[in-house]
Chains A and B, each alone.
Chain A
């Protein structure tokens, strides 16, 4: 069924569990540890047309599972999935014509044949024929900068070149939606930066594709994503721009430099452990604190000054993914406790 929608992708209440390992007999006897394991729990996501949407989360958070559901190779236990206005559960074959997937694993390529043959295969699978196909293949290879090595075997390529071949393969039919699973996983920092720029400037801005990127790198998400969903143990804990997401989940992290003589007082006001002494540098110590909201900064500074603490620096600090996930993981049990209460 096709419906008109401003969203490229909508996921509503998507839930998925996997049976645990442990053998057929163990599962049959329902021994402990063989219960199904929830991987996605009531996922709601809306991806707007033409945006780059990030799925940010640690390993095992459920990012790849979510991408597999989007690309119709996995069926959810419950929920609804719509891709480009098409019900992905009712007509998965139609969805496959609108969406291309760039997998995380380069082994999905045919290594014994050339990059051109790999891309040609996908062009044929998507129904392109003859000259039209040849033009599309050349254009896709040119887009990813592999036109000069297109005749070489993929097995002789570097990881970065293979990654580009995977992208060329997905781009060959210019699909309206592209799904990329950890696209820079095996790339060096320079190649990773180039690829991110390519995704942002060429795929999304120039070609107008909607791009969904799964990543565990906040740097990557910050660089290319218009919006992102933070996935923690199968649940989306927040969806927003990444900067707002950091603030929403992790609060506002600040760096405060105060005089060493009043460190204990400053710690108490900043709700930090008071039994710790930081080695001073030039009679000042640097503390890291988290405020519920950055808007409270003036109030906190005023309180410090009133308490006689000399403040040399008070600056916001960007959260790393580890900080973000830690904060989110800590927040989730609190939310659950509140819900149960």
Chain B
């Protein structure tokens, strides 16, 4: 844990020196809410019936979907991107000459990213709370955070697989883009499963995003307990465990292979 925190500290200190970029990024979240609000308001009459089981307002439905999108984008993209950069600079190889183990390295590097996601998510939710006509159940924010953490864990598995591919062939082979696209389309970020064509609707259950968003919306927008969506909670836990195990194994094997083939550093 000390090593994980040491990596998190130095990486965060480095990232925090980009003050203007940090500020602009935060402001852009606020600005992005404006068109979402008006588009959601325009579509509210059409969407109301389809989303009724999860939210009474399409705007808050989209905001919760956007928060989950932030989470999975960080979980899937950060690892391959950082590994790629660290291979190029020689930092990865240098860190691996120390007693540091790869789970601590990955955990440390992800700490800042997820902290940043949490801040942006908070800005989004507060903005939605101010603008929305419906309420947000703030008393369930800890449960909501736990659900997002499970969602992140499930998708970190994909990030680890993409990172493993970078170690092997210096490319994530479109795994990152593919998973993000499929998850966004089928995972009920913008629309519920009910509006998907019957042929592909069953595929939505194969995406960890689907149960996660169903739980998240029940918690925050319907103010219902997790017990009401227990099957979804169990399914999400399953995804998280499977993602971490499979992703972890893939990354470990890829690292062993990179030590044999010499691909830990390539300029």
User: Which residues does A use to contact B, with CB under 8 Å?
Assistant: 18-19, 24, 65, 68, 71-75, 93, 96-97, 99-101, 103, 105, 107-113, 117-118, 120-122, 124-127, 129, 153
Contact = CB atoms under 8 A, between A and B. Distances in A.
Nearest to B96: A73
Contact of B89 (A72, A100, A107, A118): A107
B198 interface: no
Contacts of A129: 2
Interface string B3-26: 101110111011101100000000
Interface string B84-98: 000001110111111
A113 B13 contact: yes
- Contact-residue bracket for chain B: 20 to 34
A19 B169 CA distance: 13
Interface stretch (B27-35, B53-61, B241-249, B259-267): B259-267
B259 A75 contact: yes
A96 B98 contact: yes
B45 interface: no
Chain B, interface SS category: helix
Nearest to B98: A125
Nearest to B91: A108
Contact of A127 (B7, B10, B95, B99): B99
Contacts of B6: 120-121, 124-125
Interface of B: 2-3, 5-7, 9-11, 13-15, 17-18, 89-91, 93-101, 169, 259-262, 264-265, 267
Contact of B169 (A24, A93, A97, A103): A24
B240 to A, nearest CB: 28
30 contacts: A18-B261, A65-B262, A68-B93, A72-B259, A73-B96, A73-B259, A74-B259, A74-B260, A74-B262, A96-B97, A97-B99, A105-B89, A107-B90, A108-B89, A110-B91, A112-B17, A113-B17, A117-B10, A118-B10, A120-B6, A120-B10, A121-B6, A121-B7, A121-B10, A122-B98, A124-B2, A125-B3, A125-B98, A126-B98, A129-B2
Contact of A110 (B14, B169, B261, B262): B14
Given A103-B90, A107-B91, A113-B10, A125 B259 contact: no
